[in-house]
């Protein structure tokens, strides 16, 4: 029995236009009628493709600044119709069916990760997109739904080869769509719950289905005797990286470092640079001049920076490339892009050999974090939530300079393994302590790394100080301001000691522990 579905008419409405044009070109070349909304339609037309506006289908303009455009019977009727039993209704109302729905959602998770204000977060809550995804997924027996660019290759591979899409594939795409709307709603609940001061209810699935691949064999795992592979589940993040230079294949630990670089780069204001060693930052900085940001980030721990991965959250231009090639050996440079001049300059650098990679990649949208343990897997939300408060609890408030340094350190500290301590001056890390069983040990390690730079520095702690001793060690090193979640039974004693020492202290109300 042939359960394949032919594609004759497609609805495309995407916020993420990555890989949109190759998909649309393939559809158009096969005679598929394209229907689209505002920005997506404009992108298709700019590429020379013929497309019909949704407003022409509905015979009604988009209203409320684009808030309402696809919520119409001629759109949802064309998606939800069962054929042939609903054909009479379609004919009576002049509705044409859709066979393919390509939709991805407003970038709410990205806005939340950047700490966007509440009004901006609300505007990034997608309404029509989830409705389209759920409608198409519900009617997957007749409609193909693609909820993100990571699904385009599988769809095109099957459709271009066979001329149809099997029921098994339609079911996989439908489950991916339901999973996407679930994760999206979960991010909204968690973020707005924090903004509203309400605890977010648990929203993890009762059963977990993992879909990834095909596998890329890696040189080895954490050690040469361990086999390893990478299974991409998205075209964002590591799934979409391109190695522009460097003959040696990326290893398991290399990919962990690249992932850490992408994560911290996403948290830094642009332009921002981080230096990653062993999956954690040994330096990070922001500066309007990316080359100065690199200099400040490298100075965070120049000894540990040897053999590191450098992450940049802006495209690398020639000036930054000149600054990069002045550094000792690095394993790779991770950035959203490289100018031709920058790429040529870095490739010409002698002494790095062929192992230094130029890696083009961008952060992935927020998604559940999955970790394997003996006998199962652990799943949790990704930690991108903004602090629930920024409350000065000490007698002395931070100065403007201290406040800026505290906020920078707080953005960085969640990317350090617990117990995590980050010392910062201005918008640059000067010392990091993490992975210690004792928070006092972590403070001592960060202060040792900072040396004289700890004088006047701000300190961020990923979890509360259980005793005053951590603040005492920080003050002895020269730290003048501290930000921490608060919540210890001994908060009053910790605050009192900070007051005695003249240390400004801020509570965020949010723990950012990373085990």
Query: 186 and 317: one domain?
Result: no
Tell whether 441 is covered by a domain. Answer: yes
Distance of alpha carbon 216 from alpha carbon 489, whole angstroms: 49
pLDDT of residue 352: 65
Please report, in angstroms and rounded to a whole number, the separation of the first and last CA atoms in the chain: 51
Query: 177 and 47: one domain?
Result: yes
Instruction: Yes or no: say if 393 and 442 are a contact pair by the CB < 8 Å rule.
Output: no
Distance of alpha carbon 285 from alpha carbon 266, whole angstroms: 13
In this predicted structure, the answer to whether residue 367 has a pLDDT above a threshold of 90 is: no
Distance of alpha carbon 184 from alpha carbon 106, whole angstroms: 10
Tell whether 171 is covered by a domain. Answer: yes
In this predicted structure, the answer to whether residue 43 has a pLDDT above a threshold of 50 is: yes
When mean pLDDT is compared across 46-55, 288-297, 330-339, 493-502, the lowest value belongs to 46-55
Tell whether 462 is covered by a domain. Answer: yes
Residue 203 pLDDT grade (very low, low, confident, very high; cuts 50, 70, 90): low
Distance of alpha carbon 238 from alpha carbon 244, whole angstroms: 14
In which residue are the tokens 């690095």 written?
330
Query: 297 and 396: one domain?
Result: no
Query: 255 and 317: one domain?
Result: yes
The one catalytic residue in 17, 278, 490, 493 is 278
CATH of the domain at 419: 3.40.140.20
Instruction: Yes or no: say if 135 and 128 are a contact pair by the CB < 8 Å rule.
Output: no
pLDDT of residue 1: 38
More confident residue, 457 or 48: 457
pLDDT of residue 452: 96
Q: pLDDT per residue over 112-153, tens digit each?
A: 767 778 888 888 888 888 899 999 999 998 899 998 887 888
Number of domains forming the structure of the chain: 3
Average pLDDT, stretch 308-314? 94
CATH of the domain at 64: 3.40.50.1380
Query: 430 and 312: one domain?
Result: no
Query: 356 and 396: one domain?
Result: no
* The most confident of 48-62, 163-177, 450-464, by mean pLDDT: 450-464
Quick check: bond before 491 cis, omega within 30? Answer: no
Q: Give the gyration radius of the chain's Cα atoms.
A: 25
Tell whether 57 is covered by a domain. Answer: yes
Q: pLDDT per residue over 409-466, tens digit each?
A: 999 999 999 899 999 999 999 999 999 999 999 999 999 999 999 999 999 999 999 9
The one catalytic residue in 17, 18, 114, 138 is 138
Tell whether 376 is covered by a domain. Answer: no
End of a domain among 315, 343, 360?
360
User: What is the three-class DSSP state of 9?
Assistant: strand
Tell whether 328 is covered by a domain. Answer: yes
Tell whether 447 is covered by a domain. Answer: yes
Query: 155 and 289: one domain?
Result: no
Query: 421 and 471: one domain?
Result: yes
Query: 352 and 399: one domain?
Result: no
In this predicted structure, the answer to whether residue 197 has a pLDDT above a threshold of 80 is: no
Strand pairing partners for 63? 68
Query: 345 and 398: one domain?
Result: no
Quick check: bond before 434 cis, omega within 30? Answer: no
Query: 311 and 412: one domain?
Result: no
Residue 7 pLDDT grade (very low, low, confident, very high; cuts 50, 70, 90): confident
More confident residue, 12 or 348: 12
Distance of alpha carbon 418 from alpha carbon 204, whole angstroms: 24
pLDDT of residue 211: 61
In this predicted structure, the answer to whether residue 51 has a pLDDT above a threshold of 50 is: yes
Distance of alpha carbon 277 from alpha carbon 254, whole angstroms: 10
Distance of alpha carbon 264 from alpha carbon 270, whole angstroms: 12
In this predicted structure, the answer to whether residue 273 has a pLDDT above a threshold of 60 is: yes
The answer to whether 350 is a known catalytic residue is: no
Q: SS3 sequence, 93-139?
A: HCCCCCCEEEEECCCHHHHHHCCCCHHHHHHCCCCHHHHHHHHHHHC
Query: 431 and 293: one domain?
Result: no
End of a domain among 340, 360, 380?
360
Residue 50 zone, left/alpha/beta (φ > 0; ψ -120 to 50; rest): beta
Residue 353 pLDDT grade (very low, low, confident, very high; cuts 50, 70, 90): low
User: What is the three-class DSSP state of 201?
Assistant: coil
Average pLDDT, stretch 193-219? 67
Tell whether 512 is covered by a domain. Answer: no
More confident residue, 378 or 210: 378
More confident residue, 62 or 176: 176
DSSP state of 433: E
Domain extent, residue 29, equals 9-196
């Amino acid at each position: 029995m042939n359960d394949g579905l032919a594609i004759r008419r497609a609805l495309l409405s995407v916020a993420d236009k990555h890989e949109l044009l190759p998909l649309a070109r393939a559809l158009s070349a096969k005679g598929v009628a394209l229907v689209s909304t505002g920005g997506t339609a404009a992108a298709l037309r700019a590429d020379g493709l013929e497309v019909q506006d949704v407003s022409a289908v509905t015979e009604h303009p988009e209203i409320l600044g684009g808030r309402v455009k696809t919520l119409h019977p001629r759109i949802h009727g064309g998606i939800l119709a069962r054929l042939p039993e609903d054909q009479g209704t379609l004919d009576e109302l002049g509705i044409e069916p859709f066979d393919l729905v390509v939709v991805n959602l407003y970038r709410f998770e990205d806005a939340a990760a950047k700490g966007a204000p509440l009004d901006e977060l609300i505007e990034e809550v997608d309404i029509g997109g989830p409705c389209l995804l759920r409608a198409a997924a519900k009617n997957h027996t007749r409609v193909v739904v693609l909820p993100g660019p990571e699904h385009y290759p599988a769809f095109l591979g099957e459709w271009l080869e066979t001329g149809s899409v099997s029921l098994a594939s339609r079911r996989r795409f439908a489950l991916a769509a339901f999973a996407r709307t679930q994760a999206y709603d979960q991010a909204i609940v968690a973020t707005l719950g924090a903004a509203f001061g309400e605890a977010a209810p648990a929203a993890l699935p009762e059963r977990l289905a993992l879909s990834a691949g095909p596998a890329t064999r890696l040189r080895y795992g954490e050690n040469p005797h361990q086999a390893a592979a990478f299974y991409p589940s998205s075209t964002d993040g590591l799934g979409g990286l391109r190695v522009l230079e460097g003959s040696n294949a990326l290893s398991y630990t290399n990919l962990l470092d690249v992932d850490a670089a992408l994560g911290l780069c996403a948290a830094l204001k642009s332009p921002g640079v981080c230096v990653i060693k062993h999956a954690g930052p040994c330096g990070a900085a922001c500066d309007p001049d990316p080359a100065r940001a690199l200099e400040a980030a490298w100075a965070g721990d120049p000894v540990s920076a040897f053999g590191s991965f450098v992450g940049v959250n802006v495209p690398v231009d020639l000036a930054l490339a000149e600054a990069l090639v002045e550094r000792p050996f690095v394993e790779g440079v991770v950035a959203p892009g490289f100018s031709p001049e920058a790429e040529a300059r870095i490739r010409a650098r002698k002494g790095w050999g062929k192992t230094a990679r130029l890696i083009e990649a961008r952060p992935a949208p927020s998604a559940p974090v999955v970790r394997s343990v003996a006998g199962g897997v652990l799943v949790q939300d990704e930690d991108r939530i903004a602090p629930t408060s920024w409350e000065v609890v000490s007698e002395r408030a931070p100065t403007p300079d201290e406040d800026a340094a505290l906020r920078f350190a707080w953005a960085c500290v969640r990317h350090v393994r617990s117990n995590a301590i980050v010392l910062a001056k201005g918008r640059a890390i000067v010392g990091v302590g993490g992975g210690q069983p004792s928070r006092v040990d972590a403070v001592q390690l960060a202060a040792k790394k900072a040396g004289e730079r700890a004088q006047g520095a701000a300190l961020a702690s990923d979890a509360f100080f259980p005793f005053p001793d951590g603040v005492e060690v920080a003050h002895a090193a020269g730290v003048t301001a501290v930000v921490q979640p608060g919540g210890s039974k001994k908060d009053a004693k910790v605050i009192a000691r900070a007051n005695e020492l003249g240390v400004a202290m801020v509570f965020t109300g949010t723990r950012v522990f990373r085990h």
